[in-house]
Amino acid sequence: MSPAPASLTTYDPLTALAAGLASLALLAWLFWPRRGLLAVWKRFRRASARVLKEDALKHLCKVEISGGSVSLTSLAGALQSSQNTAAAVIAELQDAGLIEAREGALRLTAEGRRYGLGIIRAHRIWERHLAEQTGVAEADWHELAEREEHRLSADQTEALAASLGHPTHDPHGDPIPTPDGEFVPHGGQPLGTFPVGQRVRVVHIEDEPESLYEQIVAEGIYPGQVIELTGMTNHSVGFLADGRPRQLTPVVAANISADLLARDAAIGAPPGPALPTLPPGEEGVVQLISPLCRGAERRRLLDLGVLPGTRIRAEMRSPGGDPTAYRVRDSLIALRRDQARHVHLRPAGTTA
């Protein structure tokens, strides 16, 4: 018997059923309401468009607060987008009554300003949350808050603010807008604008661009710190901070804002030596925990009994030199050098 022609195949109902089910599964995966790939893609596009609009409003708010103005070109740069994309964002915001064009510049309407300040409020409250309630590294606060500011609802923002005690400033010294949209700028001047010999108090540290911010953090500068200007050249700004000489380039120093401090203003004593300098067998008294120690790390030290006025004795160091065992109130605790460096001492037997 000759073989059947190649064009004639046997119908297999199971194979046909499996193929049909696979096709239905594929269609469901693509078009299922709310959960299908197409629905997810549409939500992603809507979310991306909303983020662009909110970033534009936030940028306009910041520029208007500083007394500047925004053009199409500058907005495209701020959004890191093409001018065509920026123009589309502007058109949508104008249609929504959130911005208007006046004399060649973009301006916020009252509703646009309220919306933009709400995004800034969410960002700065989230940064405060990261600083006080988590162990997230300081270098990551801004980037994480950039994402979370678009996810927090107004109710979630207010609940978080309440859990933090309704803070008025973020960890960098930026004022947090109130729920009603009131906003008072920090009013500081760039560090390099003060005369040599002047004492100032840091009120704000700009966290962008990241490369400059990292240099400021590396020098241990923080809001509330008292600084005395010691030298100024075209290439450097010299100053004393916490009793130690520091030096920054003018570009970096411009990202530190400060207020004048009267010469007779009362300020605390500069921090004493850090705990890792305490030799084994000797003891000191905790003077303070550095303001640079925040969040979970600070809470751990406090929970271990490392409080101002507490006597602490270095008992022994590990063979590798880290960690070190310290005796605090009849308890033996181990601290790594990067934890202990935040604890400053005064000599045992002295008073604060």
Tell me the pLDDT band of 346, cut-offs 50, 70 and 90.
confident
Q: CA 48, CA 147: separation in Å to the nearest integer?
A: 11
275 touches 261 (CB < 8 A): no
Q: Are 56 and 75 in contact (CB under 8 A)?
A: yes
Q: Which of 89, 77, 87, 107 is nearest to 53 (CA)?
A: 89
Contact between 124 and 161 (Cβ < 8 Å): no
Mean pLDDT of 313-329: 90
282: burial class by Cβ within 10 Å (0-12, 13-18, 19+)?
A: exposed
pLDDT digit string, tens, across residues 257-315: 999 887 666 566 678 889 999 999 999 999 989 888 888 888 899 999 999 999 999 99
Compare 270 and 32 and report the one with higher pLDDT.
Answer: 270
- The stretch 90-102 carries a mean pLDDT of 91
Angular region, 165: left φ>0, alpha ψ -120 to 50, beta rest: left
Give dist(CA 277, CA 290) in Å, integer: 15
Assign 140 to helix, strand or coil. Answer: helix
- Please name the CATH architecture into which domain 37-108 falls: Orthogonal Bundle (1.10)
Indicate whether 252 pLDDT > 50: yes
Report d(CA 201, CA 9) in Å as an integer. Answer: 88
- Helix (H) / strand (E) containing 186: none
Interval 146-195: pLDDT, tens: 999 999 999 999 999 999 999 999 999 999 999 988 888 888 999 999 99
The answer to whether domain 189-260 and domain 275-347 are alike in fold is yes
Q: What is the CATH number of domain 275-347?
A: 2.30.30.90
* Overall average pLDDT of the 317-322 stretch: 86
What does pTM read for this prediction? 0.73
The CATH class for the domain spanning 189-260 reads mainly beta
8 compared with 210, residue with greater pLDDT: 210
Q: Per-residue confidence at 321, pLDDT binned at 50, 70, 90?
A: confident
Domain ranges of the chain: 37-108, 189-260, 275-347
Integer Rg of the chain from CA: 29
d(CA 308, CA 296): 18
> What pLDDT score was predicted for residue 172?
92
Residue of 280, 261, 256, 262 lying closest to 332 (CA atoms): 280
